[in-house]
Structure 1
């Protein structure tokens, strides 16, 4: 899934404006250039092939870590980890799980609410480390259903 689509979905979910998106990025130490945040939302209603260049994986990594700080606060026990790129759908799921303090049952319910049925074993495979025997790559469809279900949960 495109990084800008994920950020747009989270923006809608939490009802954030450009200033708040920039604040989330700054929480993790990223200083967005003038117009960089606005560029993420510039072509949001166009089809994927007409949107142009996606935002960088570095920006996305800083945004997801900043979202954790925004929702949970900074921890003095855990210093910030370096940003690993590229940002995959599995990483997005993991970061959102941490930011929203979600447990396995809640994640399963969110996927069901979003309209996607998945077994608990398949779901746990999405959170495994790459290279693990039971690791499963998260497809765009699963992430879209998860974001849809999480949006319904947060906004209701």
Structure 2
């Protein structure tokens, strides 16, 4: 990883504006112009890209320590003229006041498992028998996990395609008509009410009455 890449990642992680970045440099007694900063923040393949020197990288990290933890009594630390991944890692640890458990949790956010013994080797002084060089992969994953933690973003690798589907509840499905018993279907459809037949007029003699004709009783006409 280049110093420029690390500077860009830190700026994005803490959502620092150009003015804020310049202020962090100033906390370590280094005046930086906006033009210089813009050149350092350019992508590596940009024609206006300018490499960030080790001295300026160390100065920025010293300023970040002051920004996050306040100014300490005594003389300000002298920035290193040569920085390594181990130095950068250690300065970030100090600036954020991280414990070993904190760092392991941040690494886990980037899906990287590191043992506590392995982690402690990165913070040993160079030349110590247990010193271990911090590779780009370690520092890159730490910065990625730190970004997830500070910006409250979820790692892409941890997202499941079913996560969104689980949020949306499926609508309740009604039972198909084909599964209903025949008796239920018949009950659902009520037969229309039948009309009662109209009452037929009747007479006491059981014979049909006609106008102009007198009823006959016992076979004889009566008037």
TM-score by length of 1: 0.91
Q: 1:137 and 2:133 equivalent?
A: yes
SS state of the match for residue 35, structure 1?
A: helix
Confirm or deny: 8 A CA contact 2:40 2:50 kept in the other structure. Answer: no
Q: How far off is 1:53 after superposition?
A: 4.2
Q: How far apart are the structure 1 equivalents of 2:27 and 2:67? A: 7
| Off by >2 Å, runs of 4+ in structure 1 | 50-53
Q: Look at both structures and tell me which one has the larger radius of gyration over its CA atoms.
A: 2
Partner of 1:99: 95
TM-score by length of 2: 0.64
SS state of the match for residue 91, structure 2?
A: helix
Among residues 61, 67, 82, which one is paired with 1:86 in the alignment? 82
SS state of the match for residue 154, structure 1?
A: helix
Q: Structure 2 stretches of 5 or more lacking a match?
A: 153-223
Which has a greater percent of helix?
1
Among residues 114, 117, 136, which one is paired with 2:110 in the alignment? 114
Bigger relative contact order (CA 8 A; separation at least 6): 1
Confirm or deny: 8 A CA contact 2:41 2:49 kept in the other structure. Answer: no
Partner of 1:74: 71
Task: Please provide the CA RMSD for this pair.
Answer: 1.7
Q: How far apart are the structure 2 equivalents of 1:36 and 1:107? A: 32
Q: 1:3 and 2:11 equivalent?
A: no
Q: How far apart are the structure 2 equivalents of 1:37 and 1:149? A: 25
Q: Structure 1 stretches of 5 or more lacking a match?
A: none
Q: How many residues align?
A: 152
